[in-house]
Amino acid sequence: MNLKKAAILLSGSLLMTLSGAVVHAAVDEADAQKLLKDSQCGKCHDEKRNKKGPSFKKTAAEYKGKPDAMALITKNLTEPHEVEVDGEKVEHGAVKTRDAARIKNLAEWILSR
Ligand code: HEC
């Protein structure tokens, strides 16, 4: 086996190991909760109970089976926009992090309620 071939084989198996790790990574419950708390989402959202905003359980049910669920939720968590609370338009707010992995984790947490 020449060196180039060996390198290709090696990087191939490395990639497989890495993607396997991503697939098997479970939602980090503690980090999702912390990010919700730090971003003050609890003012309007609860996991199971509707408050000013819908419960995360309700949102998860609404998005179940939709192929673009992750994209839509991520957009909702990161891009400023207005929502209506008691007939008034208010800033929705966004997560207090720019860490893509933490945002993805929170979106997955919401969708798995
Ligand atoms: C001022 C109250 C308020 C705050 C603060 C708030 N939300 Fe919301 N959120 C709402 C309301 C109201 C809606 C419903 C909007 C609608 O149905 O158009 C909503 C909708 C959502 C949805 C569902 C979107 C959809 O398309 O169904 C998610 C997910 C969400 N919020 C997550 C969060 C997270 C995470 C935070 C913290 C960064 C947060 N919200 C902060 C009021 C709030």
Q: What would the DSSP string read from start to end of 12-66?
A: HHHHHHHHHHHHHPPP-HHHHHHHHHHTTGGGTB-SSSBSSS--HHHHHHHHTT-
Candidate from 37, 40, 43, 44 with most ligand 1 atoms within 8 A of CB, to mutate: 44
From atom 21 of ligand 1, which residue's Cα is the shortest distance away?
A: 53
Gap from CA of 26 to ligand 1 centroid (Å): 24
Q: Where are the domains of the chain?
A: 27-111
From atom 31 of ligand 1, which residue's Cα is the shortest distance away?
A: 53
Instruction: Quickly state the pLDDT bin for 25 (edges 50, 70, 90).
Output: low
Count the residues in the chain.
113
**pLDDT reading at 15 higher than 70:** no
Mean model confidence pLDDT for the chain: 90
What does pTM read for this prediction? 0.83
From atom 18 of ligand 1, which residue's Cα is the shortest distance away?
A: 83
Q: What is the CATH number of domain 27-111?
A: 1.10.760.10
Q: How far apart are CA 17 and CA 100, in angstroms?
A: 21
What proportion of the chain, given as a percentage, has pLDDT over 90? 77
